[in-house]
Amino acid sequence: MILRHAFIPLDNARLSHLCGSVDEHLRSIEAAFGVSISRRNESFRIDGPKASAERAVALLQTLYGRSRRPIAAETLQLAITEALADDSQARPRTPVLGRPALREAAPGDAPDEEGDEVLLRTRRPDLTGRTPNQQLYLRNILAHDITFGIGPAGTGKTFLAVACAVDALERSSVQRIILTRPAVEAGERLGFLPGDLAQKVDPYLRPLYDALYDLMGMEKVGRAFEKGNIEIAPLAFMRGRTLNHAFVILDEAQNTTREQMKMFLTRIGFGSKCVVTGDVSQIDLPRGTDSGLIDAERVLRRVAGIAMTRFTAADVVRHPLVARIVEAYDAAPTDRI
């Protein structure tokens, strides 16, 4: 099917921003929707299956409205991801602010209605999930005391968990954010790291710090650490603690053992929320050691008050190559030479 669309009123600067350098934005949209796009001045011709062509036209119109300034590659990819996700969710979504749901969950609490859109108030205005699974993940975090986010790299598991934690801290729903991660090296030997405890674990927690800086700003994060509102807690030092009124994030949980996972999950106290994230395709434990994340997914699947969210390559919101890399590894034989 061939669709034709003209942008009126004509604005050459906007058209330039929409198309990108050497029409690179148009080429990205073509690849995402399986269509062919050609243009002459303000007139566009989209050739492809009817549904795909209509989605491409709708996305072009949306981007044209945002094109007063140049459109960054990241912004374009997020817009494409949203457009593909909206197509799979035909019915409209109702915004739901984080404030009412970020509380101590009562027994039997369930996620909000599937079509509801969760909006988080952080330094990035109106932050929300970009795909159906990301929206489900946010609803699960809001409605459950313990939530697991399991899936490949680039799906927003850690970033969205930190966003929920920042939102809860800003609204005083919790008193502190606690970040933890197993100190397991990804197939390398880093040796003994210099410095105090915080400096030793900093390299392992860097992705969490990056998300905090993005969502709160470096100065605000620094003040929060000074006041004790944000704490780093190496997993090995969690034993014996009870974490009340805290938002606790365990990242890279695929590198915990079964015993470590059980120990961590039983630290949760009153008024706390816990999010466990991990990618079971990137386990760095010694050969023959079972992953605590895989074990927990099996053991806790039917436990009331615990939610499991599974991400796929379709939820990747990084560079489009990341999704294709994930799919290629998933399709490749698992036998090692």
Whether residue 96 has pLDDT greater than 80: no
Query: So what's the pLDDT on residue 290?
Result: 92
pLDDT for position 153: 85
Give the mean pLDDT of the chain: 81
Q: Which residue has the higher pLDDT, 217 or 188?
A: 217
Confidence of residue 193 (pLDDT cuts 50, 70, 90): low
Q: Where are the alpha helices (DSSP H) in 189-271?
A: 197-216, 218-227, 258-265
CATH 3.30.1370.10 residue ranges of the chain are 2-88
Residue 116: which pLDDT band, with cuts at 50, 70 and 90?
low
* From 38-42, 116-120, 179-183, 283-287, the region with the lowest mean pLDDT: 116-120
User: Any idea which residue has 């303000």 for tokens?
Assistant: 42
Say which residue, 69 or 99, is predicted with more confidence.
Answer: 69
Which own/partner pairs from 327-330 qualify as long-range (CB within 8 Å, at least 24 positions apart)?
A: 329/281, 330/152, 330/281
Q: How many CB atoms lie within 10 A of CB 302?
A: 7
Which range is most confident: 114-128, 154-168, 225-239? 154-168
Q: How many CA atoms lie within 13 A of 313 on its CB side?
A: 13
Arithmetic mean of pLDDT, 303-330: 82
Q: pLDDT-derived band of residue 202, with 50, 70 and 90 as boundaries?
A: low
Element (H, E) at 154: none
Angle, vertex CA 293, rays to CA 290 and CA 298, nearest 5: 90
Between CA 286 and CA 295 the distance in angstroms is 16
pLDDT at residue 76 greater than cutoff 70: yes
Q: What are the residue ranges of CATH 3.40.50.300 in the chain?
A: 95-331
Q: What is the mean pLDDT of residues 265-271?
A: 91
Is 252 in contact with 278 (CB distance < 8 Å)?
Answer: yes
Pick the CATH number of 95-331 from 3.40.190.10, 3.40.630.30, 3.30.390.50, 3.40.50.300: 3.40.50.300
Query: Which distant-in-sequence residues (6+ apart) come within 8 Å of 334 by Cβ?
Result: none
The angle, 0 to 180 degrees and rounded to 10, between the axes of the packed helices 218-227 and 197-216 is 130
> CATH for 2-88, among 3.40.50.2000, 3.30.365.10, 3.30.1370.10, 3.40.50.620?
3.30.1370.10
In whole angstroms, how far apart are CA 166 and each of 102, 120, 220?
11, 9, 11
Lowest mean pLDDT, pick from 98-112, 188-202, 241-255: 98-112
Give pLDDT tens digits for 206-240: 778 888 998 988 899 999 999 999 988 778 788 88
Is the pLDDT at 88 greater than 70, yes or no?
Answer: no
Q: List the one residue out of 57, 89, 70, 66 whose CA is nearest residue 24.
A: 70
Min mean pLDDT across 43-57, 64-78, 101-115, 296-310 is at 101-115
Helix then strand then coil, in percent of the chain rounded to 5, is: 45, 15, 40
**Can you tell me the distance from the alpha carbon of 68 to that of 200, in angstroms, rounded to the nearest whole number?**
45
Query: Looking at residue 36, what is its pLDDT?
Result: 92
- Is residue 111 within 8 A of residue 135, CB to CB? The reply is no
Q: Please tell me the predicted confidence (pLDDT) of residue 66.
A: 83
Q: How far is CA 329 from the centre of its chain?
A: 20
For helices 12-19 and 24-33, the axis angle rounded to 10 degrees is 50
The predicted structure's pLDDT at residue 233: 79
pLDDT, position 272: 92
pLDDT tens digit sequence for 136-147: 999 999 999 999
Q: Residue 82 gets which letter from DSSP?
A: H
- The type of residue at 292 is G
Name residue 277's amino acid.
T
Packing angle of the helix pair 292-299, 258-265 (nearest 10 deg): 60
